[in-house]
Amino acid sequence: MTNVIRKFALSAMALCALQAAGPSQAAATAEEIKSLGTTLTPMGAEKDGNKDGTIPPYSGKWLGVPPGVVFSGSGKIHPDPYPNEKPLFTITAQNMAQYAERLSDGEKAMFKRYPASFRMPVYPSHRDFRYPDKVLANVKDNAASAELSNGGLTLRGAFAGPAFPIPKSGIELLWDTQTVFRAHNEIAIYDQAVVYGDGNKAWGRTIYRMLATPNNLNMERKASLEQGLAAPSNYFLTTTLLPEREKGSINVGFETYDFANHPRQTWGYNPGTRRVRQAPEYGFDQPFGPGGFHTIDEDRLFNGSPERYDWKIVGKKEIYVPYHANKLDDAKVKYNDMLGRGHLNPDLMRYELHRVWVLEGKVKQGMRHLYAKRVMYVDEDTYNAVMADHYDARGELWRVAMVNLVYAYELQAYHVRVTVYHDLMSGAYMADRLTNEQPKAARINTGELKPADYTPDAARQSGL
């Protein structure tokens, strides 16, 4: 890790300018920090509901498995915590004007693109689940200690939770989505499906092994922060099983919280040559998955270095977003029942009204990306990005992405599940993180992974 090879180009002059910018101190004042867990939720969200009662007050009454739910443990699906609820109403292309103020531009575009079939069943909103006490304590500590430097490319002082629970700038909010508390380690076989406009499908399948060291609650905060900026924050290893022509290909690597000085490192294993080579670049707008229907930096709606965009907070809005999407994971639901033309089967979707931060990124002058502008909708209760609208160089809305969240009982936190990337121009979409027809769901925090599993030699030894 000492001989780090820089993988994406920032000129020497640009890097010096970033470093000269110096640190940006924690955004929260002492009084704001005291508000966490009192007037605000421990995660920094508005504790009260909305005026008309359609968003309830935060209760946080459940930690882990709620009463009446039977959960068999990691590797099993998460049963619906609200199995008897029915939609309050359904939004369609015919009545969408009535709900327009609470729809994203992407959702409106989906109604326009698929007026006969796209609909949104809206269920009661819930804010019943909470995070572990240790996470909530870390979030409060993060508010006091987290700081950015190098133009927002370097983060210090954050551990096991959103870095800036009271964000004051777009780059702070973007970092919240990257430091959201999630699984410390995760092993899964994920299916991907591209559904074309004519109904034909192309398939992908990946073995996914992720290790996020800052989310290891068995590690003490002080010990984690003392590891230094060169210490990896996230390790990844993906092995392709489908399509057949790419079977056995492996990508392995890691990244830190210091993209200015220690950018993402990635190696690729080629099963034909049985050789491992370091990738000159892995991220940004490189296409990913079958059909290339989303970019590498679009996983979880954004990941990697924020360097190519100027980020700003547009505001906070009440929007119908995918939430508590347990129906999509039901093993009784087969892919053919889920994957309709243009979009997923609406009967399996669940939308709730939640307050979200609206975060906008515009490509910086002199930089390039497939998406000239991206608008992300960030759930205030968890800091997960739940929807994103992507615009092309002409300023046209091009792609719409949606993340379906579930509360993972073994994790005691919200977990990213089926993610859908819609291409409005072609009428095709990609659904990722499918497990319905796999024998197991993801194994979360089972302790099976360690940093030594993410070296080039480990990739070579695990090759098919």
Question: What confidence category does residue 280 fall into, taking pLDDT thresholds of 50, 70 and 90?
Answer: confident
State the Cα angle at 53 between 47 and 54, rounded to 5°: 95
Q: Is the pLDDT of residue 74 over 80?
A: yes
Mean pLDDT of the 256-267 span: 95
Residue pair 320/91 in contact by the 8 Å Cβ criterion = yes
The beta-strand segments (E) located in 243-308 are 250-255, 265-270, 275-278, 287-288, 294-295
Residue pair 266/253 in contact by the 8 Å Cβ criterion = yes
| 3-state SS, residue 16 | helix
Mean pLDDT of the 255-273 span: 94
Confidence at residue 289, expressed as pLDDT on a 0 to 100 scale: 82
CA distance 52 to 56: 9
C-alpha distances out from residue 65 to 25, 128, 330, Å: 38, 11, 17
Domain total in the chain: 1
Question: Whole-prediction pTM value?
Answer: 0.93
Task: Answer with the residue of higher pLDDT: 7 or 277.
Answer: 277
282 DSSP 8-state letter: -
Question: What confidence category does residue 354 fall into, taking pLDDT thresholds of 50, 70 and 90?
Answer: very high
3-state helix, strand and coil shares in percent for the chain, rounded to the nearest 5: 20, 30, 50
Range in 226-230, 233-237, 381-385, 447-451 the model is least confident about: 226-230
Q: Is the pLDDT of residue 126 over 90?
A: yes
C-alpha distances out from residue 14 to 10, 18, 172, 260, Å: 6, 6, 21, 10
CA distance 289 to 47: 39
State the Cα angle at 357 between 315 and 155, rounded to 5°: 105
CATH of the domain at 455: 2.50.20.10
DSSP 205-233: EEEEEEE-GGG-TTS-HHHHHTT-TTS-S
Confidence at residue 290, expressed as pLDDT on a 0 to 100 scale: 85
Does a structural domain hold residue 7? no
Question: What confidence category does residue 293 fall into, taking pLDDT thresholds of 50, 70 and 90?
Answer: confident
pLDDT tens digit sequence for 142-189: 999 999 999 999 999 999 999 999 999 999 999 999 999 999 999 999
Q: Is the pLDDT of residue 23 over 50?
A: no
Confidence at residue 282, expressed as pLDDT on a 0 to 100 scale: 86
Length of the chain, please? 464
Residue pair 286/296 in contact by the 8 Å Cβ criterion = yes
Question: What confidence category does residue 269 fall into, taking pLDDT thresholds of 50, 70 and 90?
Answer: very high
Confidence at residue 89, expressed as pLDDT on a 0 to 100 scale: 98
Average pLDDT value for the chain? 92
DSSP 299-339: GGG--S--TTEEEEEEEEEEEEEE---GGGG-TTS-HHHHB
Confidence at residue 463, expressed as pLDDT on a 0 to 100 scale: 67
Per-residue burial over 72-102, b if 16 or more Cβ lie within 10 Å, else e, is eebbbbbbbbeeeeebeeebbbeebeebeeb
Confidence at residue 288, expressed as pLDDT on a 0 to 100 scale: 86
Residue pair 383/180 in contact by the 8 Å Cβ criterion = yes
Confidence at residue 394, expressed as pLDDT on a 0 to 100 scale: 97
> Nearest 5°: phi and psi at 285?
-100, 20
Task: Answer with the residue of higher pLDDT: 226 or 238.
Answer: 238
Mean pLDDT of the 24-47 span: 88
Confidence at residue 226, expressed as pLDDT on a 0 to 100 scale: 87
Confidence at residue 27, expressed as pLDDT on a 0 to 100 scale: 61
Q: Is the pLDDT of residue 8 over 80?
A: no
Does a structural domain hold residue 4? no
CA distance 451 to 184: 12
Q: Is the pLDDT of residue 216 over 80?
A: yes
Residue 232: CA count within 13 A, CB half-sphere: 23
* Percent with pLDDT over 90 in the chain: 86
Mean pLDDT of the 22-32 span: 69
Does a structural domain hold residue 1? no
Confidence at residue 11, expressed as pLDDT on a 0 to 100 scale: 35
Residue pair 155/258 in contact by the 8 Å Cβ criterion = yes
Does a structural domain hold residue 5? no
Confidence at residue 245, expressed as pLDDT on a 0 to 100 scale: 92
Q: Is the pLDDT of residue 25 over 90?
A: no
Task: Answer with the residue of higher pLDDT: 129 or 288.
Answer: 129
CA distance 276 to 267: 6
Confidence at residue 4, expressed as pLDDT on a 0 to 100 scale: 35
456 DSSP 8-state letter: H
Residue pair 88/437 in contact by the 8 Å Cβ criterion = no
| 3-state SS, residue 407 | strand
Cβ contacts of 209 within 8 Å, gap of 6 or more: 185, 186, 187, 236, 237, 238, 449, 453
pLDDT tens digit sequence for 78-113: 999 999 999 999 999 999 999 999 999 999 999 999
Confidence at residue 2, expressed as pLDDT on a 0 to 100 scale: 34
Could you tell me the residue range of the domain that residue 379 belongs to? Answer: 12-461
Other beta carbons within 10 Å of 166? 18
Question: What confidence category does residue 7 fall into, taking pLDDT thresholds of 50, 70 and 90?
Answer: very low
Q: Is the pLDDT of residue 450 over 90?
A: yes
Cβ contacts of 19 within 8 Å, gap of 6 or more: 149, 150, 260
Q: Is the pLDDT of residue 437 over 60?
A: yes
Lookup: tokens for 81: 């915590």
Confidence at residue 50, expressed as pLDDT on a 0 to 100 scale: 97
Question: What confidence category does residue 396 fall into, taking pLDDT thresholds of 50, 70 and 90?
Answer: very high
Question: What confidence category does residue 459 fall into, taking pLDDT thresholds of 50, 70 and 90?
Answer: confident
Beta-sheet pairing, 443-444 with 294-295: unpaired
